[in-house]
Structure 1
């Protein structure tokens, strides 16, 4: 579910990812939420797209900076208009 080489390194990339999920660009179905999380095994942070049973549909690693500074963006949603 998480590509090891696909890391979100800045807030613009995080916002683009969120917009893509909201627009249906990822081809995911049954999306119920998005959260920032930490992998229990190694402590790495990621953004998680979850279904209505809180199961991981898709995840992308994020840098520590994005994890710390992207919380409001994930909580409140992107500010850019949907295309």
Structure 2
């Protein structure tokens, strides 16, 4: 669920969020994917962490710029640091 007013406003912040999800940093169970979406009631964009039933586990608001330019980052995943 989206339970705070934090907004991801750069692609770097989006990548850090994705890395945190991938590494288990939020303590979520049953994560199956991540997607960019818009809120049905007001059209506000957010990044959604979904389970295998496509239910929202965690969401974070994003700016329109991150929504428009972060689709490929979400699709291919964050760059891993080796």
Q: Please, what TM-score do these two structures have when normalized by structure 2?
A: 0.95
2:79: which partner in 1?
79
Once the 2 structures are TM-superposed, how far is the Cα of residue 3 of structure 1 from its aligned partner?
A: 3.0
**Structure richer in strand, relative to its length:** 1
SS in 2 for 1:35: strand
Once the 2 structures are TM-superposed, how far is the Cα of residue 5 of structure 1 from its aligned partner?
A: 1.5
Once the 2 structures are TM-superposed, how far is the Cα of residue 2 of structure 1 from its aligned partner?
A: 0.8
Q: Aligned ranges for residues 17-56 of structure 1 at < 5 Å?
A: 17-56=17-56
Deviations for 1:24-83, whole angstroms, at most 9, x for unmatched residues?
Answer: 00100000000000111000000000000000000000000000000000000001327x
Distance 2:52 2:22 in 1: 15
2:62: which partner in 1?
62
Alpha-carbon RMSD:
1.1
> Between Structure 1 and Structure 2, how many residues are aligned?
82
